[in-house]
Amino acid sequence: MFARGEDVTPSVLELAHGNEEIPSSLLVSDKFRPNTKLEEWGAIPVIDISYKERDVLRKMIGDAARDWGVFQVINHNLSIPEILLVAEEVKSFFHLPFEHKLKLELNPFKFADTEVYYTGDNSKQDLHSLHWAESLVCLRKSWCNLKEKVTRSSDLIFPGGNETFRSGTNEILMDCRGLTVEVLHLLAEYLGLESGFFSDRCFPDGMSFFRWNYYPSCPFPSATLGAHAHTDPNLLTILYQDKLGGLQVKKDDVWYGVKPMKEALIINIGDCLHIFSNAIFHAVVHQVLVNEKAHRLSLAVIYYLDHDADMTAPDVLVNDEHPRKFKSLSAEMYWRLVFEERTGKKYPESLSGLEALRDHILLPEGNICNMDVFMIQYSVF
C-alpha cells in the first residue's frame, strides 16, 4: 500500500535535482509498478485525418475507437511548431521557484471560480491520476469569449505578460476544437447517428481543460509512475507527447507503449463516449512511465459534455446482439459518481471512472451471472 502522508515533498521537480531516493509518499506498491519498458511499442492505429474518402476514414477511426479506444492522427490542422513554442514557455514556468508556482495551487473549495491551477505534490491528490508529475491547468467552463479567457489565464501564469503563450494557446485551442469536432462527427457517423450527435452536446457549453503535464526525471523509474492507470472521465482527449514518449495503453490485459511520432496527435476515447455509444467505443485504460535521465512534457486538451447532457445511448444502438448496457444518467450525475468513487478511500484502484457505474449496469433479463464477470464480458472496464 501507499505510505500516503509520509515524507511529503513540496515539488516533484525539486526531487529530480540531485536526489537518489523517492519519498515513500511517491512510491507505488508492487501491484501497480510498471512491468514493461518505454521502448515496447504497440500497434496503435495511425490514421491520416486528411484522407479524402470519407467512408474509408470513418471506418478507420470507428474501428480504432472500438478495438483500441486510442489512435494517432497525422496530417491534422494543428501546428506542431506552435505547440513546441508554447511548450518552451510552459517549461520556464515549471522551473520557476516553488514559492512562485504555489500562488496558483488549486484550492478545492474555490474550484468553481478557478481558471488556472498548478499541482506539484500529487501525494495529496486522490481525484486525478498524476503521481510523479507536476501540472499546469487552464479551465474553460464554456467556449464563449475564448480569447478573453485565454488572456486572463496567461496573465495569471505570467503576471508580466507572455505573448507567445497567450497567442499560441489561443491558436492551439481553436485548432483543437476543429479537430475534435471532425473526429466526433466521424465517430457519430460510424454509429449511424447524425454527424453532430456528440459535438452538439460538447460545444459550446461543455467544459474543457488545457493541461500541461511535466514528468521530471526519476532516479528509480521502475518504483513509481508518472500517472496511474486510469480512464478519462470525459468525452474525448487530444494529447501531444514529446519525443521521449511514456504513454502506455492497455488492451486485452497487455500494456503497449504509444510510440512518439513527430507530427502526430493522440486521441483517447473517454468514459462518456463509452457510455453514450452503448459500450461500442472503448474507454482506453492508460498510464504514464517516467524517464531516468530526462524530463518530459505533454499537453492534453480534454473535452467534457455539457453537464446537463443526457448520456443515454440512442435506441438505434440497442438490439438483441447489443442490449442496453447502462441505465439513463446525465453527464453531471456521472461525474458526481466518479467523485464519490475516487473519494471513497479506494485510490488508486478507483481511477477507472467506469467502476463508478456498478449500480448503473443493466444485466440482461433473467441473467444472474457474477457482476464482475458481466462487466468484463461486456467491455464495461
Catalytic residue among 66, 140, 296, 342: 296
C-alpha cell at 31: 501491484
Q: Would you call 163 exposed, middle or buried from its count of C-beta atoms within 10 A (0-12, 13-18, 19+)?
A: exposed
Q: What is the DSSP letter of 330?
A: B
Residue 296 falls in the annotated catalytic set: yes
Reference 282, options 352, 200, 338, 204; nearest CA is 352
CA separation for the pair 296, 199 (Å, rounded): 31
Amino acid residing at 192: G
Residue 260, preceding peptide bond in cis (omega within 30° of 0): no
C-alpha cell at 193: 447517428
C-alpha cell at 99: 514559492
Q: Is the dihedral of CA 377, 378, 379, 381 positive or negative?
A: negative
The residues facing 361 across adjacent strands are 326
Phi then psi for residue 372, to 5 deg, are -65, -40
> In sequence order, what E strands does the chain have?
46-48, 70-74, 116-119, 134-140, 208-215, 227-230, 236-241, 247-251, 254-257, 265-269, 285-288, 296-303
Q: Is the dihedral of CA 287, 119, 347, 362 positive or negative?
A: negative
Q: Which residues are catalytic?
A: 296
